[in-house]
């Protein structure tokens, strides 16, 4: 396993995400699938055996659906599963990241990035994760009603109270990210060390403006959906199967149809190189670290041990400059 740095903290080249964990056959009354905890824990164990020390979650992740706003029995379920598993390990041996922003209650101040909400939710996350602190606390997306100054103030406070070690941003407009970082710099507060954004071979909006911010401010990119929610694996070429991410992600079929030509050419290239599509997609991201001049940590959402092992082997895939050019042309198709 290769390792990178977030601030001065050493993290594995890959993180394990909890947005999409192995689903069970059991469903809640509203149809949402339960998480198969046994399979999930096998993946967590294999990840640690392979040298992964970095886990990413959020205060509203359930584990088989993106967000579960205002569902008390589901919201935060991924944090609970992760906390229950990691409780038997030395706390200093792994890096734990979570997020805050979503509405988790119907009453006023039930969501957002205010001092009040963040102060409440860090306590809730720590309780579910069964820990005294999180290594990385990220603001999940923008709150138009709270000033950047207020948010950065409370995040700085959490660091100095020992509840959080580092802070990061996610899904914020470039202007908002720069504004908050400028406020922190002027006041001598703790500042962002990561930027969590969607990034893969066919979703490259990050490169338009955010990549330059990350390079200038030495932010590590935590790349979620590095396989474009499985589209780059080729498994959706013949339709969307039940139980997959695509079966319950809104607008997914449109994404599959829109990227069809890109994916077909990508699959041809992977076959020419005798490399599995998932490995080539991840190897491309690792190669882009050099081109963009930043560290990138892909967040893996494996639902089986075999998938995880296959993904990790992408570290051994060497992409030549000519292959990189071929892959990068897919963005223009």
Name the region of 292 (left: φ>0; alpha: ψ -120 to 50; beta: rest): alpha
Residue among 61, 85, 166, 199 flagged as catalytic: 61
pLDDT at 97 (0 to 100): 98
Neighbours of 159 (CB within 10 A): 18
Neighbours of 304 (CB within 10 A): 13
Backbone CA torsion sign across 71, 72, 75, 77 = negative
89 is annotated as an active-site residue: no
Question: Could you tell me the residue range of the domain that residue 17 belongs to?
Answer: 3-230+276-317
Q: How far from chain centre, in Å, is Cα 200?
A: 12
In a domain, 161, yes or no: yes
In a domain, 327, yes or no: no
pLDDT at 134 (0 to 100): 98
Mean pLDDT per segment of 10 residues, for the chain of length 333 residues? 96 96 89 92 98 97 74 84 97 98 89 97 98 98 97 98 98 97 98 98 95 98 94 76 60 75 92 96 97 97 94 96 92 66
pLDDT at 245 (0 to 100): 62
In a domain, 256, yes or no: no
Q: Using alpha carbons, list the distances in angstroms from residue 119 to 76, 97, 230, 274.
A: 16, 16, 36, 51
In a domain, 51, yes or no: yes
Label residue 309 exposed, middle or buried (CB < 10 Å: 0-12, 13-18, 19+): middle
d(CA 95, CA 86): 11
Continuous H helices in the chain: 37-49, 77-86, 115-129, 148-160, 174-187, 210-217, 252-258, 260-272, 277-292, 305-312, 321-328
pLDDT at 259 (0 to 100): 79
Question: What DSSP character marks residue 179?
Answer: H
pLDDT at 93 (0 to 100): 97
pLDDT at 75 (0 to 100): 83
> Which pTM does this prediction carry?
0.94
In a domain, 244, yes or no: no
Ramachandran angles phi, psi of 254, nearest 5°? -65, -40
Q: Are 300 and 16 in contact (CB under 8 A)?
A: yes
CATH number, residue 183? 3.20.20.100
In a domain, 177, yes or no: yes
In a domain, 219, yes or no: yes
In a domain, 60, yes or no: yes
The total of structural domains in the chain comes to: 1
């Amino acid at each position: 396993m290769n390792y990178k740095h977030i601030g001065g903290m050493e993290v594995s080249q890959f993180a394990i995400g909890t947005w999409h964990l192995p689903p069970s056959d059991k469903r809640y009354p509203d149809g949402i699938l339960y998480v198969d905890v046994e399979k999930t824990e096998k993946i967590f164990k294999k990840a640690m055996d392979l040298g992964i020390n970095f886990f990413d979650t959020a205060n509203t992740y359930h584990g088989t659906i993106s967000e579960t706003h205002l569902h008390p029995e589901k919201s935060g379920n991924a944090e609970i599963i992760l906390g229950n598993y990691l409780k038997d390990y030395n706390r200093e041996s792994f890096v734990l990241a979570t997020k805050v922003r979503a509405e988790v209650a119907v009453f006023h101040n039930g969501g957002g990035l205010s001092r009040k909400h963040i102060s409440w939710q860090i306590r809730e996350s720590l309780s579910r994760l069964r820990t005294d602190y999180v290594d990385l606390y990220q603001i999940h997306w923008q709150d138009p009603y709270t000033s950047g100054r207020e948010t950065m103030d409370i995040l700085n406070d959490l660091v100095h109270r020992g509840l959080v070690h580092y802070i990061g941003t996610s899904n914020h407009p470039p202007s908002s990210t720069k504004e908050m970082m400028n406020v922190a710099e002027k006041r001598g507060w703790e500042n962002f060390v990561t930027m969590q954004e969607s990034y893969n071979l066919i979703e490259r909006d990050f490169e338009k403006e955010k990549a330059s911010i990350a390079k200038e401010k030495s932010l590590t990119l935590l790349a979620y959906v590095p396989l474009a929610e499985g589209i780059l694996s080729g498994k959706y070429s013949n339709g969307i199967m039940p139980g997959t991410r695509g079966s319950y992600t809104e607008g997914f079929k449109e994404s599959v149809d829109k990227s069809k030509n890109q994916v077909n050419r990508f699959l041809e290239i992977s076959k020419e190189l005798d490399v599995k599509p998932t490995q080539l997609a991840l190897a491309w991201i690792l190669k882009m670290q050099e081109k963009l001049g930043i560290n990138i940590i892909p967040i893996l959402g494996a639902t089986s041990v075999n998938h995880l092992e296959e993904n990790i082997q992408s570290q051994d895939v060497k992409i030549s400059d000519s292959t990189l050019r071929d892959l990068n042309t897919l963005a223009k198709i």
